[in-house]
Structure 1
Amino acid sequence: MTLEPLLDAPIAIQIHVAAVIPAALLGTYLLVRPKGTPRHRLLGKIWLALMVITALSSFFIHQINMFYGFSPIHLISTYVLFGCWGAIVNARKHNIEVHKRIVRGLYFGGIVGAGAFTLIPGRIMDKVAFDGDEITPLLVAAGIGFALLWLMSKEIWRRRRLS
């Protein structure tokens, strides 16, 4: 592991990583700890702010230039911005089930899913985490993908049983 590629990266990428890493850690904490406590509310607000910074900073990253400097990953950033708004609105309305669903989607789609794409060989985080090793990030990304599919299928089957 080396931080050199990240330190040499444009400032937008550095800001993006500086927001997403604590968001990933804090998000994990929030998902496993008790909900509705004053601590949960405070840390949830911090987490949402980190997610908004992560999403906004991504609009200044144009490493994959497919359409006027943007790529499909920017659709996830748009999803994150609308999702953050939806999480706040539903928490304030005490619509906790919708709030939970949105926050889980933001975490697993916006952090875990999008994070898996950063490990594609040749990208900056691949170089940071694996020093440019070709096969390891593909195995990690495949593992994350399978875990996401498994979690989503569990959620879908749980919803079917409830209806």
Structure 2
Amino acid sequence: MDYSHLSYLHLVTVVPAFFIGSYLLVVRKGTAKHKALGKIYMVLMLFTAIVSLFMPAQLGASFLNHFGYIHLLSLLTLYAVPAGYFYIKKGNVRGHKRSMIILYCGGLIVAGTFAFMPGRLLHDWIFS
């Protein structure tokens, strides 16, 4: 699969994850709706992180001629999702909350900010 296909696949999963994650941050926690949307959010975030690992770095330094610094946020996501899941399954609400905030801020806000920087594909799609 080429870079543009991976980019579209990544975008198709990260956009709904952003909206679901934003919604989940502000609604009442622990409801059936929160739990159902949380599972969807976690699956979307895992999928988008995995897809992003197949996308070679386009800007800046790279490791193994493929990975860039932004891929560290994908690794953060691959850690935060299972951690948050297992925390809540064990009844550790505080750990779950911390993992989900880290996931949202790092996996969506920080990574999304980098995606809109000049020279990046998303910036070119929107502003060119």
State the TM-score, normalized to the length of structure 2. Answer: 0.92
1:148-163 equivalences under 5 Å are none
Residue pair 2:87, 2:93 contacting (<8 A) in 1 also: yes
Q: Which residue of 1 aligns with 2:125?
A: 128
CA deviations over 1:61-86 (Å, ceiling 9, x no partner): 11336112111111111110111010
1:73 aligns with one of 70, 73, 77:
70
2:55 pairs with 1:58: no
Residue pair 2:76, 2:106 contacting (<8 A) in 1 also: no
Q: Say how many residue pairs are matched.
A: 124
For the pair shown, the structure with the greater C-alpha radius of gyration is: 1
- Secondary structure of the 1:10 match is helix
Structure 1: gaps of 5 or more residues: 1-7, 132-163
TM-fit CA distance, 1:120: 1.4
**Looking at both structures, which has the greater relative contact order when contacts are Cα pairs under 8 Å and sequence separation is at least 6?**
1
Q: Which residue of 2 aligns with 1:23?
A: 17
Q: Which residue of 1 aligns with 2:97?
A: 100
Structure 2: distance between partners of 1:123 and 1:9:
12
The sequence identity of aligned pairs, in percent, is 38
Structure 2: gaps of 5 or more residues: none
State the TM-score, normalized to the length of structure 1. Answer: 0.73
